Amino acid sequence: SRNQWGLMDFYGCL
């Protein structure tokens, strides 16, 4: 099975 990553795992909040 694969994990669904969220965007915050890649980009920081401004």
DSSP code at position 6 = -
- Shortest Å, Cβ 8 to another protein: 6
Shortest distance, position 3 Cβ to another protein, whole Å: 5
Query: CA dist 9 to 5, 12, Å?
Result: 7, 8
Annotate each residue in 1-14 with x if it binds another protein (CB under 8 A) or - if it does not, as one string.
xxxxxxxxxxxxxx
The owner of tokens 């994990």 is 3
Q: Largest alpha-carbon pair distance within the chain? A: 32
| Smallest separation, CB 1 to another protein (Å) | 7
Residues that bind another protein (CB under 8 A): 1-14
